[in-house]
Structures are given as C-alpha cells and as structure tokens.
Amino acid sequence: MVSFLFFFCLSLFAEESTHIVREAPSYGDAIVVGSIGDARRLIPILASDSASGDITGLLFNGLIKYDKDLKLTGDLAESWEVTDGGLEIVFHLRHDVRWHDGAPFTAADVQFTYQKLLDPTVITPYSGDFKMVESLEVLDDYTVRVTYKEPFAPGLSSWGMGIIPKHLLENKDINTTDFGRNPVGTGPFRFRRWKTGERIELSANPDYFEGEPYISSYIYRIMDQSAMFLELQTEGIDMMGLSPLQYKRQTDTRFFQTHYQKYKYPSFGYTYMAFNLADPRFQDRRVREAINYAIDKEEIIQGVLLGYGRVCTGPFPPESWAYNKDIKPVPFDPKRARDILAEAGWRDSDNDGVLDKDGQPFVFTIITNQGNDQRKMACEIIQRRLGEVGIKVKIRIIEWSVFISEFVNKRRFEALVLGWGLSREPDPYDIWHSSKTKEGEFNFIGYNNPEADRLMEDGRRIFDQDERSLIYRRIHEILYQDVPYVFLYVPDALPIVHARFHGIEVAPAGIGHNFIKWYVPENQQKYRLLQ
C-alpha cells in the first residue's frame, strides 16, 4: 500500500544530536506546520495525496501500525493471530476507543470500512489489497476474522488503513459526503476547522486511548515555499520541509541554529517523470528509452538538490529490501538518444531543430504542481536537455488540488513530474498493476505488462522475504527497462522543527512515531488553546 505520510513514516537521522530533557512534559501550545498543498478529502480510504494523508493520519487509526523500529504493532487492534498459513487473521479490538463524537468504536466499523473499500462506486486507490479477502466476519463487537482467498503476504500490513465510522457514513455517498470536510475519527487529534487554500486546524483529543497529546493544537498552513520560508524566519510557522538551498545556506545562521533544529534523511520514495501511455508517441518504448538517455539526472541532483539526493533506478528506494542493486542507471548520452529517436522514425526533416514524424513535430507539455520549486527546476533542466536532442518541451505549473483532481486523476496530461512516498511494505500492485487504472487509482499512466502483472500477483502470495525479494528485483528490472517513468531521483527529506518542541525521538521510523509525546515546556509556550 502506498503511503503519503512523508513526515510520519520515513526514517531519518538528525543533523544535530537530540538534547536530553529531564523536565516533566507540559500540556498546551500549538504546532504550526507549513505545506505547499491543501488536502482534498479527509477520508482515509480516499486520501490519495500527501496533504490529505498527513491530516487523516492524525485523525484516524488503522487496526495496526508500524512502531518506531518499523515492526508491526497494535493500534485499534490490541492483538491478533495469523493462522492457516496466513489465510486467516483474527483481530482482537481495543474496548476503550471512542469516535470523536463519543460513539464507541466496534467491529462493525471495521466491516463497514472493508465494504466501502470494495464498493465499485467508491473512488479509492486502495481496494487492491482488500480484493484478496474471501470474507470478513464480525465474531462479536470486538473480534473480527479475516479470511483470504489465498496466501497474501501484505495482508497484515494492509490493515493499517484508517477505519471510518459506520454510524456517520452508512447510506452516504463516500465520494461526495460533507464528512470529507468535517471528519470524525478515533485519532489523537480532532478536526476543528478548514479554510480552503489557507489552513486546517486540529485540536488534541483528550480521550485518546493512548493518552491525550501534549500539544493542544495542530495547525496546517498552506502556502508556497518562498512564503513558507519567510514565515519560518519570523517564527510564524514551527515546521516545514526545507529546500536544498534553504537547508544548505539560508538556515546556516545563528538565528536558525538557536531557534530551530534541522534533520536530514533519505526519503523513502522518489521523484519521477511519467508518460501518459495512451499517447501514441509514448507507446513506443524506444521513445521513452531515448528520453531517459537524454536527461542528465546527476545535473538535477547537483544543480537542483545541491547533492541532497541520489539517482533513482526504479520503484523501490535503496533502503527497501526489494531494491535491485544490480540495476545501474543509464548514462547521460544525448547522442544515443538521438540515434534511438531516429530509429523510431523521428528526424529533423525541415532543419528547424525540432524532430518530426509523419509531418508532426515532437512537442509535448510536462505538468507539475505549484509550490514545489525543485520539481519546477527539474522540469526546466529536462526541457533544456530534451531540446538539445530535438524534442520541444513546454512546462505548465498547476495548483495542487486542481493538478490532482482535474489532470492526474482524469489522465489529462502528456507527461508529468511528481513523486511517490512509499510504505515499508514494498508491494507495488496499486501503482503498477494493469487493473489499477480507474479514476482515483494510482496507475494513472495506463501501464500494462503481463509479466509484471503476474510477478506482482505472485509476490503477494509468498511470505518468505528472500523469495519475494527475487520477484521484486525482477519487477524492478522490468520497470526500468520499460521506462513507463523516467525515474529521476530519491531526494533527501530536509525538515526543520522549532527548538521549543521537546520529546522528539529519532528512530528508524522517523521522528513522527511519538508525535503525541512532543511537548513545549510551560515557560516556552507560545499559543493559547485556540477556540
């Protein structure tokens, strides 16, 4: 299952050592987080963008979650048994969980969420994991038995999906309900208000089953990266992801060293340029291969990321056990690119500097989202390098929510630059399987490779990690050879957090694993509880 919770799911290493703090934690204060993108719908099974994923991760819980050491542990489920060779999981649910409106959480909510994940009218990208379920039985109010059609290796981890309330959503159209703007969950924070394009506000849940968060308010502010950095300089926001330039140079001052703490880690995801494979030009693998040779990925890493990243070779980042280390990135080779394009019938017959075929010039538009300067600059380098081999590229920058809903989901693009943040479970089915091409699903480029499909299906049936890794390494190889994406880079994540926040614990799962334990000493608190 794909995860968009960049901050809350990724491993990292602190640039500076964490201070040892001995004072008792205090309740109160707010954390103000900057983001370039607004959420779309705050319903976990519909949350296909990073902003929605960030917020729903604070409002809702799954049955299980990853702990700080990346091991599966209980969340809404206090325990479980996996039996019959993995064909059956019995979940024992917690008895002390209530929805934010006070209603009790029960097995009926789990059953309802499962039914909605499989409802063909619900526009969810996450149904693939749950189609493997033969049956879900409610044994009593706090016990659920899940039986699979066949062994399904990602089965347990898939129940990290946020559970939604039956009593509020039964007989509602999940795609259009106003619940997506006024969510009620079980999580550590409650929804307070949402001003579109400006901010989302949450308040601490005093009845949270793991204990009330020390931080009383979570404020998610939406703005472009330049404005965000200005707000950081005036302490108007407490946390954001820095650009490489901001990280390397603009925060290397006494002010930032005193008032903030920076972190740097390899993000568990990658940035890519995707082709719309319904476009006849990009259906020719030779064209995609030529474009891959024509783009200098190291130039992007050094020029845009200032070295804070690595070349990407496929669908798994280097930290994943599914990664194929034998796949080497193709070299930057514009001559070879031109030769391959010529073989594919693209030649500059009228000497105007632009290749053409059957009287049509090779001109296409790359779209990407507003507010991400790194992607914009990457597009500009791609534009220049492809121009040098005779392909004219235009660039269009689109506001985030419109970009996703009107262009990505509706396949209204020729090529786009975007990124994936990935789950620790490497199952690539939802992004790459040929069945996952409906609106709202993740195979929005229309990729279809029968061998890759078969391998993805096989990889889900095998529990032994060594055997699964052989399958995923082959998938890695196929995808790099097919070039449905130009895999660009694995960026380093560069978050910065205000120094008044204590209790941050660096672990393999990141710093967000114990977010409810972050606190601000009473004499350093900045905000009163917002009403």
Confidence of residue 481 (pLDDT cuts 50, 70, 90): very high
Q: In this structure, what CATH number is given to the domain that contains residue 156?
A: 3.90.76.10
Q: Is residue 227 part of a domain?
A: yes
Does residue 11 carry a pLDDT above 70? no
Other CB atoms within a 10 A radius of the CB of residue 414 amount to 18
Confidence of residue 372 (pLDDT cuts 50, 70, 90): confident
Quote the pLDDT of residue 529: 58
Sheet holding 88-93, edge to edge: 77-83, 88-93, 143-148, 133-140
Range of the structural domain that residue 146 is part of: 61-171
Q: Please tell me whether residues 317 and 367 are part of one structural domain.
A: yes
What stretches of 389-464 show up as alpha helix (H) in DSSP? 400-402, 429-432, 450-459
Quote the pLDDT of residue 15: 40
Q: Please tell me whether residues 227 and 331 are part of one structural domain.
A: no
Q: Please tell me whether residues 485 and 367 are part of one structural domain.
A: yes
Other CB atoms within a 10 A radius of the CB of residue 117 amount to 22
Quote the pLDDT of residue 13: 34
Tokens of 351: 């000497």
Q: Please tell me whether residues 297 and 384 are part of one structural domain.
A: yes
Q: Is residue 529 part of a domain?
A: no
Q: Pick left, alpha or beta for residue 177 (phi over 0 → left; psi -120 to 50 → alpha; otherwise beta).
A: beta
Last residue within a domain, chosen from 171, 196, 223: 171
Q: Please tell me whether residues 341 and 446 are part of one structural domain.
A: yes
What stretches of 324-372 show up as alpha helix (H) in DSSP? 334-343
| 35 vs 37: CA distance, rounded Å | 6
Q: Is residue 336 part of a domain?
A: yes
Distance of CA 433 to the CA centre of its chain: 18
Does residue 5 carry a pLDDT above 80? no
Does residue 517 carry a pLDDT above 80? yes
Other CB atoms within a 10 A radius of the CB of residue 154 amount to 19
Quote the pLDDT of residue 380: 98
| 385 vs 293: CA distance, rounded Å | 10
Q: In this structure, what CATH number is given to the domain that contains residue 304?
A: 3.10.105.10
Distance of CA 3 to the CA centre of its chain: 4
Q: Please tell me whether residues 161 and 202 are part of one structural domain.
A: no
Q: In this structure, what CATH number is given to the domain that contains residue 212?
A: 3.40.190.10
Q: Is residue 248 part of a domain?
A: no
| 89 vs 459: CA distance, rounded Å | 19
Q: Is residue 502 part of a domain?
A: no
Confidence of residue 12 (pLDDT cuts 50, 70, 90): very low
Confidence of residue 528 (pLDDT cuts 50, 70, 90): confident
Q: Please tell me whether residues 382 and 430 are part of one structural domain.
A: yes
Q: Please tell me whether residues 298 and 350 are part of one structural domain.
A: yes
Mean pLDDT score, 83-102: 96
Mean pLDDT score, 168-181: 96
| 82 vs 66: CA distance, rounded Å | 17
| 449 vs 476: CA distance, rounded Å | 13
Q: Residue with structure tokens 């001559």? A: 335
Q: Is residue 89 part of a domain?
A: yes
Q: Please tell me whether residues 109 and 150 are part of one structural domain.
A: yes
* Bridge partner list, 477: none
Quote the pLDDT of residue 9: 36
Mean pLDDT score, 321-340: 97
Q: Residue with structure tokens 């977010």? A: 515
User: On the CB side of 222, how many CA atoms lie within 13 Å of its CA?
Assistant: 21
Does residue 351 carry a pLDDT above 50? yes
Output the CA torsion 238→244→247→248 (10° steps). -170
Q: Is residue 347 part of a domain?
A: yes
Stronger pLDDT, 77 or 464, i.e. the higher one: 77
Question: Could you tell me how many residues make up the chain?
Answer: 531
Query: Of all residues in the chain, what percent carry a pLDDT higher than 90?
Result: 82
Lowest mean per-residue pLDDT among 62-66, 69-73, 186-190: 69-73
Q: Is residue 277 part of a domain?
A: yes
Q: Are 197 and 222 in contact (CB under 8 A)?
A: yes
Mean pLDDT score, 246-273: 93
Q: Phi/psi at 492 (nearest 5 deg)?
A: -75, 140
Please state the domain count of the chain.
3
Mean pLDDT score, 405-418: 96
Q: Please tell me whether residues 67 and 155 are part of one structural domain.
A: yes
Stronger pLDDT, 282 or 461, i.e. the higher one: 282
Lowest mean per-residue pLDDT among 224-228, 365-369, 392-396: 224-228
Query: Of all residues in the chain, what percent carry a pLDDT higher than 70?
Result: 95
Mean per-residue pLDDT of the chain: 92
Q: Please tell me whether residues 210 and 86 are part of one structural domain.
A: no
Q: Please tell me whether residues 301 and 162 are part of one structural domain.
A: no
